[in-house]
């Protein structure tokens, strides 16, 4: 390689073509657009947010440095403590149900049946279809007086005496929010788990069955440990996006009733854009940061481990 390079004329064109030829230079050239983009649109905003969170910046006003005042102010508010507990409840329950539902769905689809391809595609729709529009349909399904779900449960089937106050009661509102999150997320979990299960070699499972293990035992002792790395990564990625969720609480409940369903992004939106307290809003988003860092580090370790296995 080096000898062919030397025979090229030492012109500008030759230099360019050499740069585009060698791995070392070509690597940086190809990566630079992505990294310039991410530096300007992600790293810079991050530090900008840190600075904003130390100021009393309001819409249309000058920013003055106020130290940690925004953070100490937040810790004293009911809105912020509710945001933290809501996020904890929302993320924990959504993840548990998505895990259980996803595993159930994967095991269901792993068995051969008539129309498998069509059913698999149809079951992906809640994940594929635009969330904003499917959530608008859910808010119609949860209508305070004309909910078809209540009509089916109370009038048509007679299973309940009273209609469910889906979005009007604090506990029910959170439960409804979690339900829609799970409804949308289960197909993603199911399809990823299914792909992982199908990549486990059938011989190993057959061997365990010949050894007398029941289907149940062979799943938990053989298959599940082998798909565990994928399960972990999916759970971590989903945890992060669930904590940072804006769309569902904004569209279904606007954080209500009585701030019982607001999450970090929505609280930051309400404070910074609706009441104009930009510094305080930036501080709210940054309080997510410690949790995010921990989750990102765990994700990195589990991805590394999986790559080492492959």
DSSP assignment of 156-185: IS---SS---TTTSHHHHHHHHHHHHHHHH
Instruction: Name the one range near other proteins by CB under 8 A: 68-76, 166-174, 213-221, 257-265.
Output: 257-265
Contact 178, 94 (CB under 8 A): yes
Does residue 74 interact with other proteins by CB under 8 A? Answer: no
Interface with other proteins includes 294 (CB under 8 A)? Answer: no
- Residue 89 contacts other proteins per CB under 8 A: no
Task: Report, in Å, the least distance between residue 221 CB and other proteins.
Answer: 22
Contact flags string 259-288 toward other proteins, x per CB under 8 A: ----xxx--xx--xx----x--xx--x--x
The nearer residue to other proteins, 83 or 208, going by C-beta atoms, is 83
Q: Cα(193)–Cα(234) distance, rounded to whole angstroms?
A: 9
Question: Is residue 23 close enough to count as binding other proteins by CB under 8 A?
Answer: yes
If one asks whether residue 167 binds other proteins (CB under 8 A), the answer comes out as no
x/- binding map, residues 210-249, to other proteins, per CB under 8 A?
--------------------x--xx--x--xx-xxxxx--
Least distance to other proteins from the beta carbon of 289, Å? 8
**Three-class SS string for 188-213?**
HHHHHHHHHHHHCCHHHHHHHHHCCC
- Give the interface segment with other proteins, choosing from 66-74, 163-171, 189-197, 207-215 (CB under 8 A): 189-197
84 contributes a contact to other proteins by CB under 8 A: no
User: Do residues 248 and 303 lie in contact, with contact meaning Cβ atoms separated by under 8 Å?
Assistant: no
Coil, helix or strand for 55?
Answer: strand
Q: Which residues pair with 55 in a beta bridge?
A: 65
DSSP alpha helix (H) spans, the chain: 2-7, 12-19, 23-38, 44-53, 69-75, 78-110, 116-128, 131-141, 148-150, 170-199, 202-210, 215-218, 224-243, 247-252, 264-269, 278-286, 289-309
Judged by CB under 8 A, which of 73, 169, 172, 183 binds other proteins?
183
Q: Are 240 and 296 in contact (CB under 8 A)?
A: yes
Of residues 207 and 214, the one with the C-beta less far from other proteins = 214
Any contact of residue 27 with other proteins (CB under 8 A)? yes
Q: Is 71 near other proteins (CB under 8 A)?
A: no
Q: Does 110 bind other proteins (CB under 8 A)?
A: no
User: What residues numbered 192-211 form the site for other proteins, per CB under 8 A?
Assistant: 192, 195-196
75, 133, 220, 305: which one binds other proteins (CB under 8 A): 133
Residues in a beta bridge with 277: 58
Distance separating alpha carbons of residues 16 and 9, to the nearest angstrom = 11
Asked if 44 interacts with other proteins (CB under 8 A), we say yes
Distance CA 198, CA 109 (A): 10
């Amino acid at each position: 390689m080096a000898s062919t390079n030397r025979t090229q004329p030492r012109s500008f064109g030759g230099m360019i073509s050499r740069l585009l030829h060698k791995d070392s230079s070509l690597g940086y050239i190809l990566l630079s657009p992505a990294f310039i983009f991410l530096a300007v649109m992600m790293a810079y905003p991050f530090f900008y947010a840190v600075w904003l969170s130390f100021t009393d910046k309001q819409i249309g006003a000058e920013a003055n440095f106020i130290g940690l005042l925004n953070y100490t102010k937040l810790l004293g508010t009911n809105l912020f403590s509710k945001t933290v507990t809501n996020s904890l409840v929302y993320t924990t329950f959504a993840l548990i149900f998505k895990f259980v539902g996803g595993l159930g769905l994967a095991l269901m689809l792993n068995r051969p049946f008539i129309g498998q391809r069509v059913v698999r595609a149809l079951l992906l729709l809640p994940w594929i279809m635009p969330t904003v529009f499917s959530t608008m349909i859910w808010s119609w399904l949860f209508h305070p007086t004309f909910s078809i779900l209540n009509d089916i449960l109370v009038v048509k089937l007679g299973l309940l005496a009273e209609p469910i106050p889906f979005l009007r009661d604090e506990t029910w509102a959170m439960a409804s929010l979690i339900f829609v999150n799970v409804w949308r997320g289960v197909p993603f979990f199911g399809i990823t788990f299914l792909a992982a299960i199908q990549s486990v070699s059938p011989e190993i499972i057959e061997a365990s069955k010949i050894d007398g293990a029941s289907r149940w035992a062979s799943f938990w002792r053989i298959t599940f440990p082998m798909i565990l790395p994928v399960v972990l990564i999916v759970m971590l990625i989903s945890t992060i996006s669930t904590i940072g969720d804006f769309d569902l609480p904004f569209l279904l409940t606007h954080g209500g009733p009585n701030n019982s369903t607001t999450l970090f992004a929505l609280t930051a939106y309400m404070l910074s854009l609706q009441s104009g307290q930009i510094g305080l809003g930036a501080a709210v988003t940054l309080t997510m940061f410690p949790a995010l860092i921990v989750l990102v580090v765990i994700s990195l370790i589990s991805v590394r481990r999986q790559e080492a296995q492959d």
